[in-house]
Amino acid sequence: MTILEAVLAFAVVAGLLTVVPGLDTALVLRSTVSRSRSHGVAALCGIQVGILVWGVTAAAGAAALLAASQTAYRVLTVVGAVYLVWLGASMLWSSFRTVPAATPDVVPLPVGGRRRDFATGLVTNLLNPKVGVFYVATIPQFVPDGVNPLAMGALLALAHCILGSAWLTGVVLVAGSLGPRLRRSDAVRWVDRVTGGVLVALGARLAVAART
């Protein structure tokens, strides 16, 4: 298997996972609809940096230790679960805040700049042990003989980032075109409620998994 064949084969696997609606899509959609396209792009960038970090650490063997050590996996799972529940609960709390009487038709935008959206995307990915396990399980299968595993892992992670960026950019463009109208309705509140509910559910699921 050549390097090109390995990258293409990995791209098929990563591409299928990318287009399945999940946490990354929900975060980018929420940032774009509730704020603006630039905020959605900031969240997108944070997510992709997180993917690169996981890809490189998996190739370097750090994530392999995570997969082999039940204690390390559980600790990261619990931390990730607490973070997701906190983030989801914050969104739910924000969605139920009272709208000022002076502007009843405008939903107040969530507090925080683009750096916060970037950090949210980055930290959410870094605290998701399933991302690391995915790379541990897949990268060894796509490293041709004689190729440096670290360099190959970085290349595969970069391919994943390109695919993810293309998909999430489409999400940003579509959501951005609807954002101005949705922000003058209860749609933003419902986006926060749905996204927050998903995050809380994922966090609770991770916490239960950590106990088993």
User: Is the distance from CB of 47 to CB of 125 less than 8 angstroms?
Assistant: yes
User: Is the distance from CB of 99 to CB of 108 less than 8 angstroms?
Assistant: yes
- Domain span including residue 74: 3-211
Q: What's phi and psi for 75, nearest 5 deg?
A: -60, -50
Based on the structure, what is the number of domains in the chain? 1
Percent of the chain past pLDDT 70, that is, above it, reads 71
Task: Give Cα 2 to chain centroid, integer Å.
Answer: 30
- pLDDT digit string (tens) for 181-194? 655 556 556 666 77
pTM: 0.68
Q: How far apart are CA 202 and CA 185, in angstroms?
A: 27
Most confident of 96-100, 109-113, 136-140, 161-165: 161-165
- Tokens representing 194? 């749905």
